[in-house]
Amino acid sequence: MTPLSQKSTTEEIRARFDQEVERFSRLETGQQATIDAPLVLELVSQATRRHLQPGNVVLDLGCGAGNFTLSVLRGTPGLHCHLVDLSQQMLQRAEARVSAAGAASVQPHQHDLRELPFHADSFDCILAGAVLHHLRDDAEWQNAFVRFHRWLKPGGRLYVSDLAYFDVPDVQVVMWERYGQYLDALGGTETREKVFAYIDKEDSPRSLPYQLELLRASGFSRYDVLHRNSVFACYFGLK
């Protein structure tokens, strides 16, 4: 496994995603490497429509081409949407798609999430789809969750969907092999090797218990798991 100090830089990650706009603009191709991505998007859409109202403010971190926000807008149109991504090309595509999908307003931010300057109590909901695995050491993870809690209004919710490793090594081996089999079925050995290579180079995920403990430690009053399959999980936290 690549040491944290040798992982991809922010600029390298941005450059890769600049080339992936068309693929990530289609759910059937952009989220293929994520197990159960359509199901997770639907679960979050169903959950958010229970607490969001038109006029509420949503922040989508690592928005890509906008799929996470689009799924929320299907259940609750008329939201004020803030979109964050490293890639300007991704942001432009996401802004166009979200604007056309019934958002009340769309504000793009080309930023690293670790450097965002938002004020406390700014958002009714924060979405983080396949982005937190780019955080590196424990300090970055801890600081991110503290800021998420601060940015949310009282009663606001954070939804995360991401890679989630297992802390017990032999269980991680089993689940990683299952994920490899999924990628083999998706596109053969070439797909498995390609996905495993960029995960090793770019990503530094943490376990689900680790992330849930960060929710507790940063002040979230309630939290739970919406879905888990192999090395992917979706969970929420309530401020």
Answer for the pair 76, 52: CB distance below 8 angstroms, yes or no: yes
What is the predicted pLDDT for the residue at 7?
A: 80
Q: Pull the structure tokens for residue 69.
A: 């926000």
What is the predicted pLDDT for the residue at 15?
A: 78
Number of neighbouring beta carbons within 10 Å of residue 149: 21
Please name each of the domains of the chain with its CATH number.
4-238 (3.40.50.150)
What is the predicted pLDDT for the residue at 1?
A: 75
Answer for the pair 67, 30: CB distance below 8 angstroms, yes or no: yes
What is the predicted pLDDT for the residue at 21?
A: 67
CA distances (Å), origin 47, targets 42, 73, 94: 9, 12, 22
Which residue ranges of the chain lie beneath pLDDT 50? 29
What is the predicted pLDDT for the residue at 178?
A: 96
How many angstroms separate the CA atoms of 177 and 145, rounded? Answer: 30
What is the predicted pLDDT for the residue at 176?
A: 97
What is the predicted pLDDT for the residue at 11?
A: 85
What is the predicted pLDDT for the residue at 72?
A: 97
CA distances (Å), origin 24, targets 28, 176, 203: 9, 24, 18
